[in-house]
Amino acid sequence: MKRSLICLALFLISATQAAAQMKLIRRMLSEDLDTTRKASFMPLPLLRYAQEVGLEFGAGGLYSMYMDRADTSNRSSNFSTVLSFSTKKQYNVSIKGDIWTKHNAYHLITELRFRSMPFDFYGIGNQTLEANEDRILQNQVRAMFDLEKNILPFAYTGVSLGFENFRFKDRESGGIYDTNPAVEGKPGGSVVYLGVSQTYDTRNSNNYPTKGFFGRVSYQYAPDLFGGNDFTGSQVRVVIRNFWPLAKKLVLGVNGIYYTVQSKHTPFYLLPQLGNDEIMRGYYSGRYRDENLLAAQTELRYRFSNRFGLVAFAGGGRVYENGGFSFKQFKPSYGAGLRYFYDPAKGLSVRADYGAGEKRPGEARQSGFYLSLAEAF
């Protein structure tokens, strides 16, 4: 009798767990849109192994909410975080906020990051070689704050404040990091930015726009506060995006960026870098870096259901020194991806993209796989 009761209890527990799992699966695949505008959270586990890092484990997540749930025009405020640690005592902690207040009167962008991770350095310029790969250990502290106010319909004027500190250590002497005299700022340094920005935004969503225009120009100046070899100069960033609905479930988006850093002595770690999970997918971030970065991409988005979508993207870009712009040597970027919308009403997704780039003589074609939260742009 006792054994029968135990078996019955185990069966009931298993049935309850199975029912709960089925309920969760049905909810995650449901085509229904949540009209209550409640908050949502999506975690994403992180587990990978690399020889220089060891076993890296952690998690990322995106929390989304509305400051005014009653106002259907209020854009969602999104908070993302990444926490990872490795068996070789390295870490990456990042917290970002993209906040829209009531009536979209103010837009706040914040970031706080602490990182101790190695990266591969290839030199400076648009034609660096894979053979020059040099592994560097980076320690970084970053704090950025942008505040924009709505002054005219669709127009936001803002100010920004930022601080960054870098420290570097070359794993093996004699590489391009040590021997290239064009590499400035090898020990690292600190920088404080003061800036202004102007944004014009007519998109119908800040998460998954299907129509509208977004343009932002920002200027930041770094005064000589620390002396020595720390950075003093300015940087300009221009971002342009536009979206067109081609059909009920088909959207065409274009995105262009221009970044430039101007200074008599610009440390290598502040030079614009080509390639990341948002633009020029397929390139290792930092493989190409220089004083200027120009890139553009187009993305065709097919959202065949409320929960799932497909994308195809293609673009091109390059880095170049001041006065060295040319339409030659633009690098291609192309690929495709899958989307799962975990919050269909807000248009928030988990995206998996595979991007490919150029194939240089004697090297494998550059490529990359990306698993991220939210759209690329």
Tokens of 6: 């135990």
d(CA 61, CA 259): 28
Of the candidate ranges 1-5, 128-132, 143-147, the one whose mean pLDDT is the lowest: 1-5
- pLDDT, residue 188, reads 93
Of the candidate ranges 84-88, 265-269, 316-320, the one whose mean pLDDT is the lowest: 84-88
pLDDT band at 30 (very low <50, low <70, confident <90, very high): confident
Fold for domain 35-373?
Porin (2.40.160)
Average pLDDT over residues 317-330: 94
- pLDDT, residue 125, reads 96
- pLDDT, residue 168, reads 95
The answer to whether 192 touches 225, Cβ cutoff 8 Å, is: yes
- pLDDT, residue 193, reads 95
d(CA 62, CA 64): 6
- pLDDT over 60 (residue 70): yes
d(CA 315, CA 376): 13
pLDDT band at 32 (very low <50, low <70, confident <90, very high): confident
Average pLDDT over residues 39-51: 84
The answer to whether 287 touches 272, Cβ cutoff 8 Å, is: no
Q: Spell out the domain ranges in the chain.
A: 35-373
Sequence-distant (≥ 6) Cβ neighbours of residue 265 within 8 angstroms: 184, 185, 229, 231
Residue with tokens 């949540």: 34
**112-133: pLDDT as tens digits:** 999 999 999 999 999 999 999 9
- pLDDT over 70 (residue 311): yes
- pLDDT, residue 350, reads 95
- pLDDT over 70 (residue 333): yes
- pLDDT over 90 (residue 309): yes
- pLDDT, residue 256, reads 98
- pLDDT over 70 (residue 59): yes
**150-197: pLDDT as tens digits:** 999 999 999 999 999 999 998 888 899 999 998 999 999 999 999 999
pLDDT band at 52 (very low <50, low <70, confident <90, very high): low
- pLDDT over 80 (residue 33): no
Bigger pLDDT: 18 vs 219: 219
Q: Which range in 102-106, 180-184, 370-374 is most confidently predicted, on average pLDDT?
A: 102-106
Q: What is the mean pLDDT of the chain?
A: 91
- pLDDT, residue 330, reads 96
Of 24, 18, 28, nearest in space to 305 by CA? 28
pLDDT band at 4 (very low <50, low <70, confident <90, very high): low
